[in-house]
Structure 1
Amino acid sequence: MTKQKTALVSVNAGVGHVNACVAVGQRLLDSGNYRVVFAISELLKGKLKAYSFEEALIPEDIPEVVDPVKCFAKKLLEMGMLTDQTPIEMLKHSRKGPVDLVQLYKKLDKDMEQVISDVKPDVILIDHLFCVPSVELSGIPLVWVWSSIPLFLNDDDERLPPGASGYSVNGNRDEWKVYRELKYEANISAWNEWNDYIVLKGCPPLRDNSFITAHKWLTVYGYPKEIDYTDIVPMAKNYIQFDNLMRRENNNIEKFEIPEQLKDKPGKLIYFSMGSMGAVNVENMKRLCTILAKSKHRFIVSKGPKHDEYDLPDNMWGQSTVPQVSVLPLVDLVITHGGNNTITETFNYGKPMIVLPLFYDQFDNAQRLQDLGLGIRLNTYKCTDEEMLTAIEKLLNDNELNEKY
């Protein structure tokens, strides 16, 4: 019998990143050829064991282990990322972010050096915002798992709008240029510091204004072909596209059935989720639920970590979290923040989308779907009753669109 190899997965502790890497890890386990070890923040202790993975915990400088979702959401709230700002306003107001990340990744680099020594992997998979020198210099085969949109993999190509801008591929290129210049200014201090750091460690210099090295390694990413940007810029041969990186729910979660209180009610069934981060803005969740209460349809709601701070109207049922990949096949429409996992999973099940973007690649996903006539982008904080209710009816009754899906 062939001895199992060891795959070490190092992943950003964000929910979307982890879910995508879980999907890849599950396929490695399915092959029977690998044991899979996740190098993960101690904030997520035990979360990966539920999927039959091993865990190598990265210590955190915190007084006690807290709810990771609330921890990360608190950081986003403090950065102003969950407020009514345009992408370019967010870029102007979040310039400290990259500088803070440099210190976090220096720590991760040292931690990963120890993890690699302890685990002795045969292959390393990473999903991070920065490259990790201890991984790149280990001499162990490396695979990037890219859980964000592919736009960032070609972010320096002027044929495409800059990532996180939310600009249309058919938009004003002068606006693209302004955004890129602001992004460069926002990142240059952190980029210089990180580039100096990795060069001192023995790595080649980074590409200008980029913190990652996915272009040098085998990289897998999840994004449906129908909405990928390859019609404008073909991907390099080392980038391997999958329609999604969709995890299976673990065996501890029962098959989802439509809740009794919604079963006999009239109307279509709609899934509403602003993601674990977006849902912490309780006032906006209450505002959106008030609008949706005026709809004749039924709603399954992912209420988020502050689920106990608001009640749902009669045409809704929800919990703090719901098993999304089990819910999606049952619904007729999805109202989402536009995170990459939700976009690709929803697309996999052929459901039209209303996208209410909050930050980062969510703006790009929302605009891409709207450009292609596959969904509707609305302002997360300012959409009116009429805009939302009209969008719902438009998508539910668009027979041509539903045939495409």
Structure 2
Amino acid sequence: MAKKAVKKKAARKVVKKAVAKKPARKAVKKPKKVIALFPEAAFGPALNSVGIGQALEKLGHKVVFLSDPGFLDVYKGYGFEAHPVNLSEPLPPEEMAKFWVDFINGHIPNFRKTPFDQIDNYVKGCWEMIVETAKWAEKDLPGVLDRIKPDVVCVDNVILFPAIKHYARDNKKPWVRIISCSENEIEDPDIPPHLSGCGEKDKKGFASYRKRFNEVIKPIHENFNGFLKSVGEKAYPLGQFFEASPHMNLLLYPSAVKFKRRHRLSPKQFQYLEGCVRKDAAYKVPKFKKNNDKPLLYVSFGSLGSGDVDLLKRLITTIGKLPVRALVNVGDYMDQYTDIPANVLIDKWYPQPSVIPQVDAVIHHGGNNSFTECLYFGKPAIIMPYVWDGHDNATRVEETGHGFKLDRYEWTDDVMADRITRMLTDKKMKAKLKKTSKDMRKQKGPVKAAKVIDGLLRRKKAA
């Protein structure tokens, strides 16, 4: 998709004088501001940032992406300039692909565990790798920033990249933190700990999760603090790997599901975007061999969750017996599927923001893009979480009445059929979703984000 430049026209009055006319002066174009977006190397943050980038370009700014080499083509595919920043040891593409396949397959047994029981394996393993990404970024990032010279840097990650703070400080430029996961990434004693999947009133669960998380994470955190000291940064308290930006923090979390905090987040420093849905390729729903007059479901467990082939096969079989149709995202595992029911179509990828508006309900893993897009388009969802903030979003979708939480493995055909039927027929849920969708659409998340960032650039002095 080619990038479109925003043209500005200046209207000038012609002042008539008795003797002669003054020649009209040519409009002077303001130089574009350079805005660098640096999302985590995952599709959720990456595609959220694409939406923000698209809106920033419409305001006339130049948007560049800083990216793990494996995601460069994602941004280039949307027409953006992208610069590589290694977040791990450089490997040939085929070796990197094998690494991630092995990583996913190795953790599939952990998908069956509770959020608490995942602390010792999946969560621990992820934080070990995340700390290493911060160390690797420090090798490339200072030079990339000095070369690009951005007027503002926006980072969407769960860990500090010290080079961004240093660049902002040394050049008197603002930096923005984007929180694309659940809002509990910004801690508060009265809301569930990030990744815990606790309900909002489960104070005992809060304490239990925080205690175990800190016990397991302590040696990893000490390693990270050692790295911070080596680059001139102060140590973080146990359990903390990032900080709020003093300039601005953008939360994608929708207001309809946000928590009641003990400590209010000041709008001068924190803004809720109500999601950040990007524009994607148009999608036309194909004809099915069966049930073309029945409700349409969309099923996707994300790039990681698609590796859980046995679960998707079981779900496809169950849906095949119901009076519905379904589009199912199976990722890079197409060759492992045979005997697909006549009311099901599978593919390796769907332009999700173009698909969800056309379906009646969604079954997904709780990733923040899927979570916010369902709310944005007013679609009920069954969330079957397996890791990370999927647990938080699954709990939240049910306790706010926007859908259902369902264990990925402990369900029967009858339970699944019941939840699908209730999603399609629950009038109270539909009314709530309609209101939430209306409120979110009014905010226009990407446009709001672009205006907030643009406002930072207009300040005479950065905070």
Fold in common (TM above 0.5): yes
Deviations 1:219-258 (A, max 9, x none): 1111211101146663233111011111111xxx3x2111
Unaligned 5+ residue runs, structure 1?
none
Q: 2:350 aligns with which of 300, 318, 322?
A: 322
1:118 aligned partner, one-letter code: R
19 and 167 in structure 1: CA distance in 2 versus 1, 3 angstrom threshold: same
Maintained 8 Å contact 1:267/1:297: yes
In the alignment, structure 1 residue 128 sits paired with structure 2 residue 157: yes
- Residue matched to 1:385: 413
Tell me: CA distance 1:324–1:217, structure 2 relative to 1, closer, same or farther (3 Å). Answer: same
Query: Is the partner of 1:229 in helix, strand or coil?
Result: coil
2:234 to 192, 204, 207: 204
Separation of aligned partners in 2, 1:69 and 1:399 = 45
Deviation at residue 199 of structure 1 after TM alignment: 2.9
Confirm or deny that 1:165 pairs with 2:193: no
Distance in 2 of aligned mates of 1:295 and 1:122: 54
What percentage of aligned pairs have identical amino acids? 26
1:83 offset after TM fit, Å? 2.7
Say whether the 8 Å CA contact 2:72–2:83 is kept in structure 1: no
Q: Report the more deviating stretch, 325-334 or 262-271.
A: 262-271
Shift of 1:15: 0.9
Q: Tell me which residue corresponds to 1:51.
A: 78
Counterparts of 1:184 and 1:328, CA distance in 2: 38
Deviation at 1:116, TM superposition (A): 0.6
Letter in 1 for 2:176: V
Write the distance in 2 (CA, Å) between the matches of 1:365 and 1:212.
21
For 2:46 and 2:102, how far apart are their aligned partners in 1? 19
Secondary structure class of the residue paired with 2:131:
helix
The change in CA–CA distance for 1:223 and 1:124 in structure 2 (over 3 A counts) is same
C-alpha distance in 2, partners of 1:44/1:74?
Answer: 19
Contact 1:4 1:35 in 2 (8 A): yes
Question: Are 1:149 and 2:182 counterparts?
Answer: yes
Select which of 136, 147, 152 maps to 1:118. Answer: 147
Q: Using a 3 Å threshold, how does the CA distance of structure 1 residues 193 and 389 change in structure 2: closer, same or farther?
A: same
Which position in structure 2 is the counterpart of 1:222?
252
Larger radius of gyration: 2
Aligned residue in 1 for 2:221: 191
Matched, 1:13 2:41: yes
How many residue pairs match? The answer is 397
Return the offset for 1:263. 8.3
Q: Structure 1 330/367 Cα, relative in aligned 2: closer, same or farther at 3 Å?
A: same
- Alpha-carbon separation, structure 2, partners of 1:26 and 1:198: 34
AA of the residue aligned to 1:105: A
Question: In 2, distance between residues paired with 1:120 and 1:41?
Answer: 19
Residues 25/304 of structure 1: CA separation in 2 closer, same or farther (3 Å cut):
same
Q: Which residue of 1 aligns with 2:425?
A: 397
Q: What is the deviation of 1:294?
A: 1.6
| Separation in 2, partners of 1:354, 1:69 | 30
Instruction: Report the equivalent of 1:331.
Output: 359
Quote how far apart the aligned CAs of 1:191 are: 1.4
Name 1:248's counterpart in structure 2.
279
- Higher mean C-alpha deviation, range 46-55 or range 199-208: 199-208
> Are 1:334 and 1:352, in contact at CA under 8 Å, matched by a contact in 2?
yes
In the other structure, the counterpart of 2:461 is none
Paired position in structure 1 for 2:458: none
Query: Which amino acid in the other structure matches residue 332 of structure 1?
Result: D
Cα distance in structure 1, aligned partners of 2:96 and 2:277: 21
Using the TM superposition, give the Cα deviation of residue 318 of structure 1 relative to its aligned residue in structure 2, in angstroms.
2.1
Amino acid at match of 2:182: I
Maintained 8 Å contact 1:43/1:67: no
Kept in 1, the 8 Å contact 2:383–2:394? The answer is yes
Counterpart CA distance in 2 for 1:313 and 1:70 is: 31
Change (3 A) 1:81 1:67: farther
CA–CA separation in structure 1 for the residues paired with 2:97 and 2:393: 22
Most deviating of 72-81 and 143-152 = 72-81
Sort the Cα spacing of 1:151 and 1:352 in 2 relative to 1 into closer, same or farther, 3 A.
same
Residue 68 of structure 1 and its aligned partner are, at CA, apart by 7.0
Equivalence for 1:91: 119
Tell me the SS of whatever aligns to 1:87: coil
Q: Distance in 2 between matches of 1:5 and 1:109?
A: 24
- Kept in 2, the 8 Å contact 1:99–1:189? The answer is no
Q: Do structure 1's residue 181 and structure 2's residue 216 form an aligned pair?
A: no
C-alpha displacement at 1:51, in angstroms?
1.3
Cα-to-partner distance string for 1:143-191 (whole Å, 9 max, x where unaligned): 011110101112xx221121111111122x2222111011101211121
Partner of 2:4: none
The secondary structure found in structure 1 opposite 2:197 is: coil
Post-superposition shift, 1:76? Answer: 3.3
Q: Secondary structure, in 3 states, of the residue corresponding to 1:185?
A: helix
- The gaps in structure 2 that reach 5 residues or longer are 1-28, 434-463
Alignment of 1:231-270 (within 5 A): 234-237=264-267, 238-249=269-280, 253=281, 255-261=282-288, 265-270=292-297
RMSD (Å), alpha carbons: 2.0
Q: State the SS of the aligned residue for 2:133.
A: helix
1:292-303 map, 5 Å:
292-303=319-330
TM-score, normalization: structure 2? 0.81
Q: CA deviation at 1:71?
A: 4.9
Over 3 Å counting, the alpha-carbon distance change for 1:179 and 1:270 in structure 2 is same
**Equivalents in 2 of 1:26, 1:263: separation in Å?**
39
CA contact (8 A) 1:38 1:53 kept: yes
Counterparts in 2 of 1:73 and 1:146: CA distance versus 1, 3 Å: farther
1:65-113, Cα deviation, whole Å (9 max, x unpaired) = 1497775453233245753111111112233432333222101122111
Residue 75 of structure 2 corresponds to residue 42 of structure 1: no
Opposite residue 199 of structure 1, the aligned amino acid is: K
1:100 aligns with 2:117: no
